[in-house]
Structure 1
Amino acid sequence: MGRCPARGRGLRDTSARYKGSGPERFLPDLAPSSEPAACLGASAFTMEQLSSANTRFALDLFLALSENNPAGNVFISPFSISSAMAMVFLGTRGNTAAQLSKTFHFNTVEEIHSRFQRLNADINKRGASYILKLANRLYGEKTYNFLPEFLASTEKTYGAVLTSVDFQHAPEDARKTINQWVKGQTEGKIPELLASGVVDNMTKLVLVNAIYFKGNWQEKFLKEATTDAPFRLNKKDTKTVKMMYQKNKFPFGYIEDLKCRVLELPYQGKELSMVILLPDETDDESMGLKKVEEQLTLEKLREWTKPENLSSIEVNVSLPRFKLEESYTLNSDLARLGVQDLFDSSKADLSGMSGARDIFISKIVHKSFVEVNEEGTEAAAATAGIATYCMLMPEENFTADHPFFFFIRHNSSGSILFLGRFSSP
């Protein structure tokens, strides 16, 4: 966040209170809540609102990234990005707040910050059958004065404590400190979130969100069944992959209008699942995936993947063993989606952080990692017309030997933690 007047108000549980018809109606209320997360009593309706908002943003960003890279791999944690930007939203005012609210669909969720607080607690709960760590932290220039209300709210709602660092005199040391923390939170999978030169002596604040996931399949693939097999990148090129195989009962569906198979692979405990959309092969360069992506909306994705449209049947599953590591600077993509003032030193209003309009967001960096193997999945990330279904056969084949779309979902909330496109081993 770089250098570049209105005093900030402070987040109660009623953080999305109506404030008139102008952009200020989106402003969070920054006084910290005294109510513990367990007592928030978020209704299923409002948690559904948050899940819908996060999924809409996830698909918006995925499609924007896909336009930039139509034939390559894409992998992001939209939940990580939304969580980080919700922290930023706490400190925004005026048009900056309105743009963030619209792009991230925060304006569709009542009490947005308390809902994130509740969802973070649900996802990070103790005793889960998976390992999922979501961690937030603020790194602030030690000589810069942040509003106590802002710091109290980020700590109370997002668990993000402020660590003072010396950006002004030792930016490289500060960068290494941030990277070391992210490396620890992601079990070493993201060793360098911030590249050399990303922070400098003008940096005032770095907001970091890191998410790490490791889960075993409910039904594991047998290692001895893994073989070398061709993966079709497009209609003329192939590449050899390690193809895993198993035959088991899984939720499965076929979208007749799209000519696309849907498979749900639950993780142990069935609290999380990987859902894969695999188009039938076609002669286009994307092997059928482009048509699926063109149809992606919140409503259609939910229709395609909801339990009542999937049948638990025997499926011969062939899935590549794969690992993806992706890095994105999201400024231009978010600007295309509507977040513009945040990155403009002359327009950014982050006065809810400091009481002055003297800072702006210089860069949003997102790195992500996923590894899928016979045991399960390891993933990490850090940010700075309804189709008709056809009748299924008693046994189906699901051979992912060409590009597919996938996401990892927290089933009880419907929240998409990670999503991507696997196009090229």
Structure 2
Amino acid sequence: MNKTIVIAALAAFLPLVWSQCLTRNDTARLSADKLYYGQRKFSVSLLDALQKARPNESLFFSPHSTYRALLLAYFGAKGETEKSLKKTLHLDWANSKADVSHAYELEKLARANRREHQTVEFNSVDKLYFSKQVELKDCLKQMFNESIEILNFATEPEEARDQINKFVEEVTKDNIKDLLPPGSISHDTNVVLANAAFFKGNWASKFDKEDTQKKIFYEHSRMPVYVDMMRQRGHFNYGVIEELNTVFLEMPYKGEDGSISMYIFLPVFTVNAIDEFLEKVTPEMLDEVFSGGLQREVDIEFPKISFERKFELVPILKHMGVGDLFESGANLTDFSEKQSLKFDDAVHQAKIEIDEEGSVAAAATAIFSFRSSRPTEPAQFICNHPFMFLIHDQKSKEILFAGVYRGPNE
């Protein structure tokens, strides 16, 4: 591989309903920043929930993809279901769904405009697949006219599943295949909500392949293992989060605006250091890291990474407080007034590859606490034990992907 590739896809499938059109407030000019702030809070909560569900494993997922799919569900929810989703997605800033839909549309427009000028590649696509038997509201058709597709779930469920999987494969350039396994779509399926996202970028400062060596990585509570460790010396944003006994580093991706970077958070190594870090890290701490930074010379050692993860999201999302979203009593009457619908399942799949050429992140880093005198010797940033990493978009202030690396043998 000569690049870093990150792919994530999420689908939530359901039978559903909505009973009242969204009230569109054309005068609303809410900043999408509020939507992104909610997404960052959601990202930390989801990371914590996944960590508890899969302790001692390397993790990788897309908060962006998961959040987008749940937003689609929120637009169709009413009553207590809507209230639970609003709380879980941190949408308390919004007075109505119209405020949220306005921010959602602003984000889509801004992302599309940026795509033409970026040297990194990031593509995220939402889809709402409905059965022919579902009588959709006109306002829903208006809002999602480019994202809605009608499929014949009732008589051709496997063909519908294949079409959805092909959509995911196309967006992720064949990196995520068979997201929905055989039997996941049935004659009773009324709707599938899906988001697929793909990222590819080259490091602004590449590693030299000749410097990559086999070195020891200390896995969580395990014997040391050997990994391909990349090495370089350069000037990077580097800082200390003293409250968490953690150092962090920003690794920017090559791009005209330098707005996407990978942030790596490396706790001082003890047996439970990464677990303690994940329990204590907050959105506010991450915001400080993302908001500014201090450059210094750093010696970096970072492992080549390649792995894929798939999650059954229903128990995780229930733990996060989505209420009755996956129960028979879910109120999804803002999709259609004629059919009774509910979510049946949710699945998330993500894949990452990192090597000397490529990497993932967002521009701008901040320091919680840093020594005032600039040291003359390069800092050491040796990633030979478990760490967390994020791919962050500074312009949108959104966490696109996140992971915890505990070693190669998971």
* Cα deviation, residue 11, structure 1: 5.2
Which shows bigger deviation, 198-207 or 145-154? 145-154
Alignment partner of 1:358 is 2:340: yes
1:325 is aligned, of 297, 301, 308, to: 308
Instruction: Confirm whether residue 314 of structure 1 aligns to residue 304 of structure 2.
Output: no
TM-score, length basis structure 2: 0.88
Structure 1 residue 171 corresponds to structure 2 residue 174: no
Alignment of 1:146-157 (within 5 A): 146-155=136-145
Give 1:236 shift: 4.1
Answer whether contact 1:74 1:420 (CA < 8 A) is retained.
Answer: yes
Q: Which amino acid aligns with 1:115?
A: A
Residue 389 of structure 1 aligns with which residue? 370
For the residue of structure 2 that corresponds to 1:341, the secondary structure is: coil
Matched residue of 1:376: which SS? coil
- Report the residue type matching 2:260 in the other structure: L
Q: Deviations over 1:129-186 (max 9, x none)?
A: 211111111221123222222122123xxx41x2222211121111111101110110
Match of 1:371 among 344, 348, 353: 353
Match runs of 1:137-286 below 5 Å: 137-155=127-145, 159-160=146-147, 162-269=148-255, 270-282=258-270, 284=271, 286=272
- 2:80 aligned residue: 95
In 1, Cα distance between equivalents of 2:250 and 2:325? 38
Query: Matched residues in 2 for 1:109 and 1:245: separation?
Result: 46
Q: Which amino acid aligns with 1:213?
A: F
Q: Would you say 1:135 and 2:117 are equivalent positions? A: no
**Superposition deviation, residue 57 in structure 1:** 0.4
User: Matches of 1:268 and 1:4 in 2, distance apart?
Assistant: 43
- Distance in structure 2 (CA, Å) of the matches to 1:92 and 1:258: 38
Runs of 4+ displaced beyond 6 Å: none
The worse-fitting range, judged by mean Cα deviation, of 95-104 and 47-56 is 47-56
Per the alignment, residue 325 of structure 2 pairs with 342
Distance in 1 separating the partners of 2:323 and 2:407: 32
Counterpart of 2:275 (choices 290, 301, 315) is: 290
Structure 1 residue 107, shift from structure 2 partner: 2.0
* Aligned residue pairs, count: 382
Structure 1: state its 5+ residue gaps: 15-32, 380-385
**For the Cα contact (< 8 Å) 1:48–1:413, is it kept in 2?**
yes
Corresponding letter in the other structure for 2:285: K
Q: Alpha-carbon deviation of 1:193?
A: 1.1
1:182–1:190 contact (8 Å) kept in structure 2: yes
Alpha-carbon deviations, 1:57-101, whole Å to 9, x = none?
Answer: 011111011011121011111111111111111111111111100
Could you say which residue in structure 2 is the equivalent of 1:7? Answer: 19
Distance 1:63 1:280 in 2: 20
- Name the CA distance, whole Å, in 2 between partners of 1:226 and 1:2: 47
Per-residue CA deviations over 1:223-278 (Å, capped at 9, x if unaligned) read 11111111110254122211111111000012233221110001112110100100
- C-alpha distance in 2 between matches for 1:405 and 1:114: 33
Name the residue aligned to 1:112: 100
SS of equivalent residue, structure 1 residue 58: helix
Q: Quote the residue 1:48 is aligned against.
A: 33
Match of 1:28 in 2: none
CA shift for structure 1 position 51: 1.8
Give yes or no for contact 1:182–1:191 (8 Å, CA) kept in 2.
yes
Asked whether the equivalents of residues 18 and 336 of structure 2 are also in contact (C-alpha less than 8 Å), the reply is: no
Query: Which whole-Å deviations, capped at 9, do the CAs of 1:97-130 have from their partners, x for residues lacking one?
Result: 1110000112224622221222233334211121
Instruction: Give the counterpart letter for 2:105 in structure 1.
Output: Q
Q: What amino acid maps onto 1:183 in structure 2?
A: E
Partner of 1:23: none
Percent of residue pairs identical: 29
Letter of the aligned partner of 1:351 in structure 2? T
Aligned to 2:66, what secondary structure does the other structure show? helix
Structure 1 residues 90, 172: closer, same or farther in 2, change over 3 A?
A: same
Residue equivalent to 1:84: 69
1:200 aligns to what SS in structure 2? coil
Aligned mates of 1:356, 1:389 — CA distance in 2: 60
Closer, same or farther in 2 for the Cα pair 1:77/1:223, shift >3 Å?
Answer: same
Task: Give 3-state SS (helix, strand or coil) of 1:317's partner.
Answer: strand
CA contact (8 A) 1:262 1:305 kept: no
Q: What's the C-alpha RMSD, in Å, of the aligned pairs?
A: 2.2
Confirm or deny: 8 A CA contact 1:349 1:357 kept in the other structure. no
Q: Is the 8 A contact 2:17 2:341 kept in 1?
A: no
CA contact (8 A) 1:50 1:109 kept: no
Q: Secondary structure at the match of 2:72?
A: helix
